[in-house]
Amino acid sequence: MNIFRLTGDLSHLAAIIILLLKIWKTRSCAGISGKSQILFALVFTTRYLDLLTSFISVYNTTMKMIYIGCAYATLYLIYMKFKATYDGNHDTFRVEFLVVPISGLAFLVNHDFSPLEILWTFSIYLESVAILPQLFMISKTGEAETITTHYLFFLGLYRALYLINWIWRFYFEGFFDMIAIVAGVVQTILYCDFFYLYVTKVLKGKKLSLPA
């Protein structure tokens, strides 16, 4: 495992922990898109079904279980424990416009036409756009809490580091995965505007806002 994948994994883990701590400490999920979290839970569930069929390493298995567990813990906090604080009026992105076409694309463009491979491909495509409901929600409310922006920053950093990981693997291992790379590029592009605002506003102590 190279340093870019490791730091990417740690950035991803940091984002998840930041989100869970934010909800737990404030006893509120205000400003958090439950729909984005449902999509992420779907991503991890469909991607890590190989936990039932194969073993790669203790690290790999542990991280997969943490991602799945934290995803459903987040959904529990949003839709059950702190349901009264969930802002469903602003979390209105039509996720079916993402899930349906992505499902079709996963059937048409994949590495191998088998159930596990199609579901893995679906998860890669879906992860690239799963943050859209959250960004849409921020644009509707006009601003985001600082802790929420930290969560988004580490989530975007994770994907950017994974892109570097794919480049590293191509040059030093001869490994190339077009599906993962294209999806990673799309996801990173979605974060570009946010990264700019994060550096120019949040890191200077200002509140982040997106055009409504």
Q: What is the DSSP string of 149-165?
A: HHHHHHHHHHHHHHHHH
State the alpha helices, DSSP H only, in the chain. 3-26, 34-47, 58-76, 96-108, 115-129, 132-141, 146-173, 178-200
Beta bridge partners of 208: 144
Q: What is the dihedral of CA 47, 92, 74, 162, to 10 degrees?
A: 40
Structure confidence at residue 210 (pLDDT)? 59
Give the type of residue at 100: V
* Residue at 29: amino acid letter: C
Please tell me the predicted confidence (pLDDT) of residue 67. Answer: 96
123 and 43 Cβ atoms separated by less than 8 Å: yes
Name the token pair of 149.
Answer: 């922006």
For residue 138, what pLDDT is reported?
A: 86
Q: What is the mean pLDDT of each run of 10 residues along the chain (212 residues)?
A: 89 95 94 96 96 92 96 97 95 96 95 94 95 89 80 89 88 86 86 77 67 54
Tell me which residue of 130, 134, 154 sits closest to 29, measured CA to CA.
134
Q: What are phi and psi of 152, to 5 degrees?
A: -65, -35
Closest by CA to 71, choosing from 30, 116, 39, is 39
pLDDT at 148: 84
pLDDT (0 to 100) of residue 18: 95
Q: Which of 44, 204, 209 is nearest to 135 (CA)?
A: 209
pTM for this structure? 0.91
